[in-house]
Amino acid sequence: MTGIICGTGSYAPSYVMDNNEIAAMVDTSDEWIKERTGVATRHIIKGETTVSMACEAARRALLDSGVRAEEVELIIVSTISSNVILPCTACEVQRELGAENATCFDMSAACSGFVLAYNTALAYLSGGIYRTVLIIGSESLSNLTNWKDRSTCILFGDGAGAAVMKAGEGRAYLPVTCSDGGKGKALTCLSRHTPVESAHMNDPEYYMQMDGQAVFKFAVKKVPEAVNEVLRKNHVSKEEITWYVLHQANSRIVESVAKRLEEPIEKFPMNLQEYGNTSSASIAILLDEMKRDGRLKNGQKIVIAGFGAGLTWGASVMEWG
């Protein structure tokens, strides 16, 4: 028994902020941002919330899968930017969707969040505990962004992605998951609330702060290690993998991972040009785009890999459809 993704959905706010708009706020340029990160635009909330984006992505995933909200037995939302501390985002999503039979909880693992939500759903499904699970990554990172800090505000965006998973016959691949709390200071954010509502709105520590170079070096070393390990562990060869769907942080990170794995860059789809880094939503949004435009086909083997604050990282293999 395993868990199979049978529907995907995503949502991005309609407001698009390009690099020139950021260059009007801080000392940077479109050219610099594109060259160092690959990001050209990002979608930014204007009235949407982490819950509303999660709900829209989830509705689309349910529609795509043909599963009714009442059939969902577990909802996992991965987010670092919940609107409120209580109740959790997953319970709010349950209320809005009318998924009255679901058990709901949130996960906080930053940019590894979707991979860990997938693994958690897989464990519940393969273990026979649930048959239908909804996993969502939803982030309003613009609320946690210091718009005065040019080294971070260029990177992030808002959005949500969701997948419906069902129990089914097939192979349950083993994941690789890792954490190193000792290096947690490389990427921090002290606020749990919308900073504009916070008494600390002028304190940089209450926004995302990052040692960019340390995070870059960590990602380009640890992601290829995790991918190689997950393939080895599952006796899957690189030739069998059609797609490596990596967390969308920076095109230079993705390119470097491809090079270290000695795999063609064409196997590493990217949409960070449009969305920036949407943390736990990024992999789900990309999978949904690939499903809708026909790149994902039944039987393809895919690696998903996440990395980010914590530090946390990991990779999983899945068979599509």
Q: Summarize as ranges the residues that interact with ligand COA (CB under 6 A).
A: 28, 32-33, 36-37, 111, 150-151, 154-155, 210, 212-213, 215-216, 249-250, 277, 307-308
Nearer to ligand COA (CB atom), residue 124 or residue 313: 313
Nearer to ligand COA (CB atom), residue 136 or residue 155: 155
Closest separation between CB of residue 51 and ligand COA, Å? 23
Q: Which value, to the nearest 10 degrees, does the dihedral of the CA atoms of residues 223, 174, 184, 150 take?
A: 40
| Catalytic one of 55, 111, 153, 189 | 111
Q: Which long-range contacts (CB under 8 A, 24 or more apart) does 268-272 make?
A: 268/243, 268/244, 269/243, 269/245, 269/295, 270/38, 272/37, 272/38, 272/39, 272/248
| Catalytic one of 19, 119, 143, 277 | 277
User: Does the annotation count 111 as an active-site position?
Assistant: yes
The 3-state secondary structure of 90-156, one letter per residue: HHHHHHHHCCCCCEEEEECCHHHHHHHHHHHHHHHHHCCCCCEEEEEEEEEHHHCCCCCCCCCCCCE
Closest separation between CB of residue 293 and ligand COA, Å? 25
- Give the C-alpha separation, 72 to 98, whole Å: 10
Beta bridge partners of 51: none
Q: What are phi and psi of 239, to 5 degrees?
A: -60, -30
The radius of gyration computed from the CA coordinates of the chain, to the nearest angstrom, equals 18
**Cβ atoms within 10 Å of 40's Cβ, excluding its own:** 16
Q: Which value, to the nearest 10 degrees, does the dihedral of the CA atoms of residues 60, 61, 64, 66 take?
A: -110
Nearer to ligand COA (CB atom), residue 130 or residue 207: 207
SS3 content of the chain, % helix, strand, coil (to 5): 40, 25, 35
- Give the C-alpha separation, 118 to 101, whole Å: 20
Closest separation between CB of residue 29 and ligand COA, Å? 7
Closest separation between CB of residue 286 and ligand COA, Å? 14
The structure tokens listed for 240 are 């069998």
Q: What are phi and psi of 63, to 5 degrees?
A: -60, -45
Task: Give yes or no for a contact between 141 and 79, defined as CB atoms under 8 angstroms apart.
Answer: no
Which sequence positions are flagged as catalytic?
111, 247, 277
